[in-house]
Amino acid sequence: MFNAYAESLVRYAETILKNTYEAEDIVQQLFVQLWDKRSTLVITTSLKSYLYRAAHNSSLNKIKQHGVRDSYAEYYTYVGNAETGSAAQRVEAKEVNTAIETAIEELPEQCRKVFRLSRFEQMKYQQIADELGISVKTVENQMGKALKHMRLRLKDYMLLLMMYLMNQN
Amino acid sequence: MELNNEHINELIAKYLAGEATPDEAIMLDEWSNASAGNLAYFNESKKAFGIKDTKVDTVKMFSAVLAQIEPEAGKEVKIIPLKLFFTPLRIAASLVVISLIGIMAAIYVKGNKNLPDQQIASLGEVKETRLADGTKVALNKNTSLTLVGGFNGKERKLKLQGEAFFEVAHNDNKPFVIDAGGVLIRDIGTAFNVKANPGSDSVFVSVTEGIVDMSSEANTLRLVQNESAVFVRSTKQLIALNLVESNINSYHTKMFSFKAKTLSEVIETINGVYGYLIKLENKDLSNCRITVDFNNESPETIVAIITETLGLTFHKTNEGIYLIEGSSCIQ
């Protein structure tokens, strides 16, 4: 059971905590507690559902207690990380950053604003909605569109880059 | 999985932004694992979002978990079984048996380690039981009681969802506290009833014997014998009540006392305890008044007494319903 769910739960928790180590910590604790409660626990939904909910709640609680850590910058490739790792990794990181920046500039205005607020200002959807005077549904929609564009552009860019690098040899 | 392009991008974005609900996360994970193409799509999106590629070391995690659950070598493990008292009649449903098995699980004492919470639930029946400290509890239907930390802390703390009557075993060293969602009820003396239904906005406490303190965040109210109060969750008000709901304990004592109450009210109260067995054929009879006491009678006897007192008749239908008939009451 552990092996089946551990990684997915950590991945989910880290999207909320923006930190892989803390996510691992939370999921570890979850399984320890699950073991402790094993004789008296009554789960009315599926085990999967229970685990994901528990991970979600623990992560939110951690944020409530300690606030979002400043080290969330480690989680992203953007800026600052173009300085760590091997030469190849640094080059790649730089390229990805450039690609992302370029792609963002191409987004329609509201789409771009929403994406920046979420991705760079770390604002929650509800906060973005309030700030821009739109509905949360619109925020979800805009984020979806932004991500689609980003993904496609990044693909194009990386392809071009590869072709360029290949031609150099 | 029906996820078209629009939706999948929104879902992935929501997930990567940390906004996905547990159900949405499950949905996305299932979609990603459905095909190599889906997984690649997800990973591209993750990269485009600017998230670093990291490794999750599940092996290391697993060892860490094991380290915390294995008891240290050489520590003694004590097993203390819970004693339960219940009348044979109440064990009818197999559901009740299952929850009993849950309670009868042993409590492991490991040095200073925190004990797990224990749950007692009544489901579709009224359940009477005795806690490890000697306190008698009667749970109304669909009620659950959680013993926080296995009753091993410096307080005897419980969480209540539903309705229960407590006859607390006195212990000066360990106060008896009930968390009813927003309000704490602390026993100073002995017997009282708490109605804390999860869907309801109010928590209702009435004291039969002894003294009880009800505390919200803002203030505390002390209740003595025959007093009751209500805590309103939405406004956080704690209000003392002058009326005494005399039939509040009937669900477990089967004793009722009605003084000049309307027939419809009497029937409603009785039905609330026995199930919807009694009905009035003639709605005009609703407002007939009756003063009567019942002391652990069967539904049939109760109906017989009511009809005799008011000059009415009744018959039992094929479905087991007692239908009260008549054109008017003797008043």
Contact between A77 and B50 using a beta-carbon 8 Å cutoff: yes
Compute the distance between CA of residue A89 and CA of residue A94 in angstroms, rounded to an integer: 8
- Burial label for B253, CB within 10 Å (0-12, 13-18, 19+), is middle
Comparing C-alpha atoms, which of B203, B237, B207, B206 is closest to residue B225?
B207
Mutation target for B interface from A30, A147, A150, A156: give the one with most B CBs within 10 A.
Answer: A147
Contact between B68 and A32 using a beta-carbon 8 Å cutoff: yes
Length of chain B equals 331
In chain B, the residue whose alpha carbon lies closest to the alpha carbon of A12 is: B25
pLDDT digits (tens, 9 = 90+) for A37-54: 766 666 666 778 888 999
With a cut of 80, say whether residue B290 has pLDDT above it: yes
The rounded percent of chain B whose pLDDT value lies above 70 is 80
With a cut of 90, say whether residue B31 has pLDDT above it: yes
With a cut of 80, say whether residue A158 has pLDDT above it: no
Residue B11 φ then ψ, to 5°: -65, -45
Predicted complex: ipTM over 0.95: no
Which residues in chain A are closer than 8 Å to B198, comparing Cβ atoms? none
Q: A6 by DSSP, 3-state: which?
A: helix
Comparing C-alpha atoms, which of B179, B123, B81, B119 is closest to residue A38?
B119
Token reading at B88 = 């044979």
Q: For position B99, what pLDDT does the model report? A: 38
Q: For position A43, what pLDDT does the model report? A: 64
Q: Does B92 touch chain A (CB under 8 A)?
A: no
Q: For position B90, what pLDDT does the model report? A: 36
The rounded percent of chain B whose pLDDT value lies above 90 is 11
Q: Give residues 105 to 124 of B whose Cβ lies within 8 Å of A.
A: 105-106, 116-119, 121
Cβ-proximal residues to A99 (8 Å cutoff; 6+ apart), any chain: A153, A154, A157, A158
pLDDT band at B106 (very low <50, low <70, confident <90, very high): very low
Partner residue facing B61 (CB), from A14, A28, A154: A28
Q: Give residues 45 to 74 of A whose Cβ lies within 8 Å of B.
A: 48-49, 52-53, 55-56, 74
